[in-house]
Structure 1
C-alpha cells in the first residue's frame, strides 16, 4: 500500500512505487488516493479527479494498481482502516506492507491507532540521507524492537516489522511546486506523466 493525496500524481510517486515493487519483490503496489487526509489540508481537486489522474499515470505499468477503496467509504481516510480492508481481502497470512515517506514517518506517533498499523502490516519508510537523526521520543517508543535490516527478514512474517529503505532514484519532485507551476502557466514537462499533463491542461485543473 502506497497512500497519499496524489495532488497531482507525479513521476516521483510513480518511480517510487516501481522501485518498491522491485526492491521488496511485491506482487503488486496498491496506490491509494486519500479521500479526506486527516493530517493535511483539503486537496486542490476532487478525489475522483485525483484517482482518474492516477489511473492515467499508471497506465499499463506492471505491478501498480490505482485502488479506489478510500473513496468508497465515508469519513477521514485513516490508514489503519484501509489496511484492515486489505487484510480482510488477502487473508491473515498475506504479507502486507505500507510504505510511507520519511516526513510522514516522523509524525507516525500522531496518527490514529498507530500500534494497529503494525498489527495489520509491515511499515517501510522511504528514507532520506539524514535518516540517522534522532527520532521523536514517542516515535522511538512506537517502533522499539520492530526494525529489521533487510527485506528478506521483513517478509518472513505477515506484519509487525519496520524497514527503512533508501530507494535508488528518490526523485525530488514536489506536488506543491507542480501546482504552483500549473497555477502560473509554467511548464510541468518531465515532472508528470505525459497523459497526466495532457488531462490537467485540457481540463484546466489547478488553475488559479
Structure 2
C-alpha cells in the first residue's frame, strides 16, 4: 500500500476566458509541487465590467475544453454550484473532507491576491486547512503589508519538500519557469474588436468562443 500522502492543489480564478497562461501555470505548478490532482475552480460571475457577459456555465465549458486530457488537472464546478457568496475557505473545507486529514492540500494564488490576503474571509481558517503557494512574478517585488506579514508570521518555508512535511499551515513562494504574459482582459478586448486570438488560448477554446459568439459585441 502506498503510504505517501496524497498531494492536492486548488487553483481558483474567473478563467474569463481560460488561456494558455492559466493552463501552462497549472501544469508547472503541478510538476513543481508533485501534485496528484490539481482542481481548477472557476469563481462565480465576476462583477459586470461593461463587456459582453459570458455565463458561469460557459466559462466552465471553456475551461473543460482547455484542460482537455491534461493528466492530473480537473475542471471543478463546486463554487458555481454553491448558493450565496463563495469563499475559498468553504472550498478548502470540502476538499479536506474529500481527501482526508493526511492529504497535503495546497491553495495556489497569485502574488496580487496574496497581498490582499489579510482582508479575506476567515483567513486564519485557511491555514488550518491548507498550505498556501504564492506564484511570484519574475522581476516583480513589493513589500508585504504589515497585516500580511503578521498573518503569515513564521509560516514561510523555503522548499516544496519542507512545505509537504505536514498537511497544512505553511506558505511557499514559487517562481514558475514560463510565466506567460497573457491577459484575459486583452483576449476579451481583441474578441470584442473581431481580432485574432490565435495562440493565446487552446484551439478548442478559440473554436468554442467563435462558434458561440462569446465575448463579441452584438451591436
Specify the SS of the correspondent of 1:185.
coil
**Aligned-partner Cα distance in 1 for 2:44–2:147:** 27
Specify the SS of the correspondent of 2:104.
coil
The CA deviation string for residues 87-123 of structure 1, in whole angstroms up to 9 with x for no partner, is: 1111111100000111111111111111111111000
Taking a change above 3 Å as real, the CA distance of residues 60 and 168 of structure 1, as seen in their structure-2 partners, is same
After the TM superposition, which residues 42-191 of structure 1 pair with which residues of structure 2 at under 5 Å, given as runs?
42=48, 44-130=53-139, 132-191=141-200
Structure 1: state its 5+ residue gaps: none
Answer with 1 or 2: which has the greater Rg: 2
| Structure 1 residue 132, shift from structure 2 partner | 4.1
TM-score under structure 1 normalisation? Answer: 0.95
| Structure 1 residue 129, shift from structure 2 partner | 2.9
Specify the SS of the correspondent of 1:126.
strand
Structure 2: state its 5+ residue gaps: 1-9
Paired residues, number: 205
Give the root-mean-square deviation of aligned CA atoms.
1.2
**Aligned-partner Cα distance in 2 for 1:171–1:63:** 21
Specify the SS of the correspondent of 1:146.
coil
2:44 to 8, 21, 35: 35
Taking a change above 3 Å as real, the CA distance of residues 108 and 130 of structure 1, as seen in their structure-2 partners, is farther
